[in-house]
Chain A
């Protein structure tokens, strides 16, 4: 919302500076975004007088003028047809920036004659739309005077953000009222206007739907002479960025911004029968004032006559019934349109208009008639003619309900001490009626404050105007200590995994929660319920089932920039369904190995690096890594022979593997890429312990002993099965089974392999004898043989 200082002063008696007003607005909740003083923009332009004008020697349409300026007599080339001796106009010296042309002037020859400056049009200075000739200023204006003050455009323009609860701030009058309450000046109540109807209007209005349009008021004004608005009105509209058109249109715009009261004028000669607010009918269309044709929906409130739709109520009028310079009889409409319906009509049509912006926030019901009459008076004043008696359909909605208010609530809720009398003064200054001798009071909001529904709203009014700067700060509480997070172990697990993986050389990434549907489907997601109805981009249209697609593509982007050998991880959400329980935490990593050569040979980054890091993440997050089962990964996005899952019982808590060539191709990523994902929420919760104390450490008194075994097994035997079988052979003694060699070749038959393990035994009560160790060895050989068919390598 933009307004000018002079416009504000119509409603506010004040000597405050622009800065003081801006500060007061900020502290009253009117967030100022921009202040512009056109005088600053026009500072370079001064009044000058043309002494003589002669035809340019080399161009018919140009003149060479001798001009009296603040810098002395200057020779200036000018193409304006109205340049003539004696004309007082605007002069721009060399070096000046001309806003309308977006150029900075340089002294350069124009067809052989050097122009020492420029004489400017209103359009070039952006003060009027007139580009046909140079400005014709008051002949008595002294040479050298600032053009801005001669033109009267030295008026600061303040632009601020209107919060949706305060539609009254969409009128300058509403702004003035809050500023007066805040002590910036005195509010000037507008004089009451009474229109004596000169005749009964033959044109009638009606409203068919009391919820869509509860009241429809109008006056017929006959015999008006439309034309350009007076300069003060044009200047005022132009200053806030509106283009003046003609008196009738300009007056409606003026009231829209002065009192937040949208109005509409119809050319009475172009309407037929009763002008009616009603709901739209299927098949109806409207050619609106913006020149576009809109299809009318059944939920839209339209204004129609006997022949059809004239406009979208509260949104935009139609071309067929619009006023023009030739209009002599007008119907001036002032109505109340339902905010929600207006909002939805705006949404459905995509129309943005100043009227819609106000109606959808709720206009002042108290100004339906008074605004109509004030505007009628202005039209009569500017265009002549005579106005009809009030034409009224429906009823003005009831004013807001009174609120019971104990002034002690200000201190109790906002923490600010405001004396009761001051609270009362503030509320009354804002237009509230306060009654009741003792507490609680009965406070009745004015018709333009439908946002006020309860005591909390009144506390805000009092605190805001009294000043949030008077808000004390209470001593913050101190916890006895950090509390354990009651949200569950999830977040602290992610924290641990982050530290482990970052320590292992991974960079943590944070990627979108969405990806494209094709990638989602590739990774086991992409269900309809997880599709976005309004994605920000076509390739971000689906909630991700895995963090891997985004991470793999991120790795590729880095590779494409010349930064390969990327290790990235993300600790964040994936989405299985749109239910509360459908969101799960994962810790996911990708490795795109492009190792730099090293004189000692580059360390291998392969599938087992991904497996190692998955186990590392699971381990720090509290998963019992030693007792995990392994199995093939059933995931289509993984290389079937180079991937696996790790499980607790039947529950998968992670997978690792090389991405499938098809998945890589679909993602546009160069392989090989190794990846893993740990399902954080599938890790069992740690058992609640009564104390933080740990169980006593048991330290065996005897040296551990170890024995090596090499088994020849079928090629298809899983190493993990052999290791588990060895482990289980003598649980009381075996503490470690380390697989240290996989061998194929001489001495091992075709289709077989040799797996060598070092088994560590930890005696508990006494040193083991050779016979006892041999007995355990025999059990190991038997157990491995039973589980895998493996035999000791001879």
Chain B
């Protein structure tokens, strides 16, 4: 087709269109499409050449061929865009298909540890007593004989001291020997010595007795409570302890029983039993049932203890109570053997331990779980 452009025949245009579209369809990649575009629509392109030939046509011819050629140009342009998009889509699909991984492979796991049941129970217990206006006090594990015994109305060298299986430290140059506190009661003494009534406190911590068998470990944990003012009675004590038992064991009602007992540092003294149900073996239900479970010791602070702490027993009175934290944990959470609490067996710690994300709250209840 050299020389002057010839007026194309309609059939030629149609043949060109068929050819171009067929080749576009067959184009394998972006480069082939681009080459085809230049060949057809570039300045020297076949379609562009035909467009140029419009100028030499008669008006009648132009009337027919003008729209025909413009239509061809537009159609080809759209087909090129569509072909490019479809190629890109196919390429993406192919890439994604190639990127497939086995999603069932195990990820690196974030390990979540656990909080020891003793710590968890201490938090629960302190939350309950905190809501009843008790403040938290503390005292040392290594105690003087005065704080652990004498001030608590254990006469020197009295058989009652023997019942405590006391750990002694080496005697100092004066022959005095400190003890590992056998109960948390010395914190009562320390609190009364530093603070005037009204006093309303609990303390929790490690306690020690030289005893080891299935139900005794040389170290265990206690919580101690003390209230001193001018009017508090044993009925107040019972009310607080019942409220505690209900809250701690998360039960709606609880029947308790006070039994007379003897402790040197309280008078009257009592042990408190809680109704329980042991009818299903291995399952202890607290609050109701036919059985009793001894749960704590308590009483009205002995006048001699008040005197030893510089308080006038004619004016002040109040109550004290103490119970085993470890035992509370065993009862509520069903850990059967006290020795395991101190065995650091990771299987036990994981099984009986508490998630660090459990926190007491309205939505979560006291022990912080889901439902």
Q: Are B169 and A532 in contact (CB under 8 A)?
A: yes
Q: Please choose the segment from A133-141, A428-436, A597-605, A730-738 that sits at the chain B interface, where 4 or more of its residues have CB less than 8 A away.
A: A597-605
Report how many A-B pairs have Cβ atoms within 8 Å. Answer: 263
B370 to chain A: closest CB distance in Å? 17
With a cutoff of 8 Å between Cβ atoms, the chain A residues found around residue B240 in the complex are 476-477
Confirm or deny: B171 has a beta carbon within 8 angstroms of a beta carbon on chain A: yes
A457 to chain B: closest residue by CB:
B267
Partner among A471, A499, A504 whose Cβ is within 8 Å of the Cβ of B235: A471
Q: Are A533 and B169 in contact (CB under 8 A)?
A: yes
Partner among B111, B206, B210, B317 whose Cβ is within 8 Å of the Cβ of A505: B111
Query: B119, B206, B240, B303: which has the most chain A beta carbons within 10 Å?
Result: B119
Q: Are A504 and B113 in contact (CB under 8 A)?
A: yes
Q: Please choose the segment from B19-27, B67-75, B136-144, B276-284 that sits at the chain A interface, where 4 or more of its residues have CB less than 8 A away.
A: B136-144
Q: Are B344 and A511 in contact (CB under 8 A)?
A: yes
* Chain B contact surface mostly: mixed
How far is A536 from B213 in the complex, measured between Cα atoms in Å?
11
Q: Are B356 and A502 in contact (CB under 8 A)?
A: yes
- Per the 8 Å Cβ criterion, residues 733-770 of A in contact with B are none
Confirm or deny: A472 has a beta carbon within 8 angstroms of a beta carbon on chain B: yes
How far is A166 from B169 in the complex, measured between Cα atoms in Å?
31
Q: Are B170 and A454 in contact (CB under 8 A)?
A: no
With a cutoff of 8 Å between Cβ atoms, the chain A residues found around residue B302 in the complex are 456
Confirm or deny: A369 has a beta carbon within 8 angstroms of a beta carbon on chain B: no
A644 to chain B: closest CB distance in Å? 24
* Chain B 214-252 per-residue mask, 1 if CB under 8 angstroms from chain A, else 0: 000011000000000001011110111011000000000
Confirm or deny: B159 has a beta carbon within 8 angstroms of a beta carbon on chain A: yes
Confirm or deny: B114 has a beta carbon within 8 angstroms of a beta carbon on chain A: yes
How far is A630 from B183 in the complex, measured between Cα atoms in Å?
41
Confirm or deny: B364 has a beta carbon within 8 angstroms of a beta carbon on chain A: no
* A567/B238 contact (C-beta < 8 A), A460-B267, A508-B119, A573-B141 known: no
Q: Please choose the segment from B8-16, B32-40, B88-96, B346-354 that sits at the chain A interface, where 4 or more of its residues have CB less than 8 A away.
A: B346-354
How far is A491 from B105 in the complex, measured between Cα atoms in Å?
43
With a cutoff of 8 Å between Cβ atoms, the chain A residues found around residue B259 in the complex are 26-27, 29, 31, 468
Q: Are B113 and A508 in contact (CB under 8 A)?
A: yes
Q: Are A503 and B235 in contact (CB under 8 A)?
A: no
With a cutoff of 8 Å between Cβ atoms, the chain B residues found around residue A505 in the complex are 110-113
* Chain B 251-276 per-residue mask, 1 if CB under 8 angstroms from chain A, else 0: 00000011111100001111100000
State how many residues of chain B have any CB contact under 8 Å with chain A.
87
Q: Please choose the segment from B47-55, B56-64, B76-84, B127-135 that sits at the chain A interface, where 4 or more of its residues have CB less than 8 A away.
A: B127-135
Q: Are B239 and A578 in contact (CB under 8 A)?
A: no
Q: Are B169 and A360 in contact (CB under 8 A)?
A: no
Confirm or deny: A474 has a beta carbon within 8 angstroms of a beta carbon on chain B: yes
* Chain A 216-239 per-residue mask, 1 if CB under 8 angstroms from chain B, else 0: 000000000000000000000000
Confirm or deny: B321 has a beta carbon within 8 angstroms of a beta carbon on chain A: no
B315 to chain A: closest CB distance in Å? 12
Q: Are B130 and A483 in contact (CB under 8 A)?
A: yes
With a cutoff of 8 Å between Cβ atoms, the chain A residues found around residue B210 in the complex are 534, 536
* A533/B238 contact (C-beta < 8 A), A360-B159, A502-B114, A540-B218 known: no
- Per the 8 Å Cβ criterion, residues 80-130 of B in contact with A are 105-106, 108, 110-116, 118-119, 123, 127, 130
B144 to chain A: closest CB distance in Å? 9
Q: Are A343 and B159 in contact (CB under 8 A)?
A: yes
Confirm or deny: B149 has a beta carbon within 8 angstroms of a beta carbon on chain A: no
Confirm or deny: B290 has a beta carbon within 8 angstroms of a beta carbon on chain A: no
How far is A460 from B258 in the complex, measured between Cα atoms in Å?
12
How far is A499 from B357 in the complex, measured between Cα atoms in Å?
7
How far is A10 from B147 in the complex, measured between Cα atoms in Å?
45
How far is A699 from B162 in the complex, measured between Cα atoms in Å?
67
B153 to chain A: closest CB distance in Å? 10
Confirm or deny: A102 has a beta carbon within 8 angstroms of a beta carbon on chain B: no
Partner among B238, B262, B317 whose Cβ is within 8 Å of the Cβ of A166: B262
* Chain B 153-172 per-residue mask, 1 if CB under 8 angstroms from chain A, else 0: 00001111011000111111
Q: Are B159 and A361 in contact (CB under 8 A)?
A: yes
With a cutoff of 8 Å between Cβ atoms, the chain B residues found around residue A347 in the complex are 162
* Chain A 449-477 per-residue mask, 1 if CB under 8 angstroms from chain B, else 0: 00000101101100110001101111111
Confirm or deny: B2 has a beta carbon within 8 angstroms of a beta carbon on chain A: no
A494 to chain B: closest residue by CB:
B119
With a cutoff of 8 Å between Cβ atoms, the chain B residues found around residue A166 in the complex are 262
Confirm or deny: A413 has a beta carbon within 8 angstroms of a beta carbon on chain B: yes
Confirm or deny: A543 has a beta carbon within 8 angstroms of a beta carbon on chain B: yes
Known contacts A166-B262, A413-B233, A528-B170, then 16 further A-B pairs from the complex at CB < 8 Å, ordered by chain A residue? A164-B262, A343-B157, A343-B162, A347-B162, A468-B260, A471-B234, A485-B135, A487-B136, A503-B112, A510-B344, A512-B219, A512-B342, A533-B171, A534-B168, A557-B344, A599-B105
A positions within 8 Å CB-CB of B: 26-29, 31, 163-166, 339-340, 343-344, 347, 360-361, 411-416, 454, 456-457, 459-460, 463-464, 468-469, 471-479, 482-483, 485-488, 490-491, 495, 498-514, 528-536, 540, 543, 550-551, 554, 557-558, 561, 563, 566-569, 571-573, 575, 578, 580, 582-583, 598-600, 603
9 A-B contacts (beta carbon < 8 Å)? A411-B233, A414-B300, A482-B131, A502-B114, A512-B342, A531-B169, A543-B169, A557-B344, A568-B344
B positions within 8 Å CB-CB of A: 105-106, 108, 110-116, 118-119, 123, 127, 130-138, 140-142, 157-160, 162-163, 167-172, 177-178, 180, 203, 206, 208, 210-212, 218-219, 231, 233-236, 238-240, 242-243, 257-262, 267-271, 300, 302-303, 317, 341-347, 349-350, 353, 355-357
Give 7 nearest A-B pairs by CB, closest first: A415-B235, A29-B260, A505-B111, A554-B344, A460-B268, A415-B233, A163-B262
